[in-house]
């Protein structure tokens, strides 16, 4: 069975984006970028993979990405941001997507559970916080990039009602940039 993996950057105070959905406070340079991108190149947008000469690199961890509407429609975003992956957007409002982006409009948990049953690499839950809260019972693993910044307000890691759910830390990497990369899995 494939795992649903919530892979996301977060601030010290638990936000995955500013109130307007931007990521301006996150650190995009430093040793963490080299280290994490080497391990998870499939999480780079397709245009960045091409710029880095990775367009033909096989996906190592994920073959599917799941995004909420705000994650998909991030300002300056692309209509097919992860063309090297099977792309799903969860939304009742998104109507115009390219052929390689499928919209899930209802029974999100049922659809994700069915995706987990398929053969293949893991499923990357890219965001956002509302979708993560809704899918928490299905999340098997979390890869959290903790940035040494405080936003004070914004979009929380889990935005909505979520039951207490325990995870076990299985790995921790600390980088000179100040970013910590933590891996948590269900016990």
Q: What is the pLDDT of residues 136-156, one digit of tens each?
A: 999 999 999 999 999 999 999
With contact defined as beta carbons under 8 Å apart, do 121 and 2 qualify? yes
149 CB-near residues (< 8 Å, 6+ apart): 11, 12, 25, 26, 27
Domain range list for the chain = 4-166
Q: What pLDDT was estimated at residue 75? A: 66
> Rounded CA gap, 6 and 167, in Å?
12
Q: What pLDDT was estimated at residue 30? A: 94
Yes or no: is domain 4-166 CATH 3.40.430.10?
A: yes
Pick out the chain residues at pLDDT < 70: 75
Number of neighbouring beta carbons within 10 Å of residue 91: 20
| 4-11 and 15-17 strand pairing | unpaired
> Rounded CA gap, 108 and 180, in Å?
31
- In terms of phi and psi (left: phi > 0; alpha: psi -120 to 50; beta: otherwise), the region of 133 is alpha
Q: What pLDDT was estimated at residue 50? A: 85
């Amino acid at each position: 069975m494939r795992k649903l993996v919530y892979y996301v950057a977060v601030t010290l105070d638990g936000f995955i984006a500013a109130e307007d959905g931007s990521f301006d406070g996150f650190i995009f340079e430093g040793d963490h970028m080299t280290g994490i991108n080497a391990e998870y190149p499939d999480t780079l947008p397709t245009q960045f993979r091409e710029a880095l000469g990775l367009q033909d690199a096989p996906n190592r961890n994920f073959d599917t990405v799941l995004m909420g509407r705000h994650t998909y429609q991030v300002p300056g975003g692309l209509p097919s941001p992860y063309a090297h992956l099977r792309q799903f957007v969860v939304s009742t409002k998104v109507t115009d997507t390219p052929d390689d982006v499928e919209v899930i409009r209802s029974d999100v948990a049922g659809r994700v559970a069915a995706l987990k049953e398929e053969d293949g690499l893991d499923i990357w839950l890219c965001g956002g916080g509302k979708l993560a809260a809704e899918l928490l019972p299905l999340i098997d693993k979390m890869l959290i990039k903790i940035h040494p910044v405080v936003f004070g307000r914004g979009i929380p890691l889990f935005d909505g009602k979520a039951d207490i759910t325990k995870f076990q830390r299985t790995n921790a990497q600390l980088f000179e940039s100040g970013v910590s990369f933590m891996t948590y899995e269900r016990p």
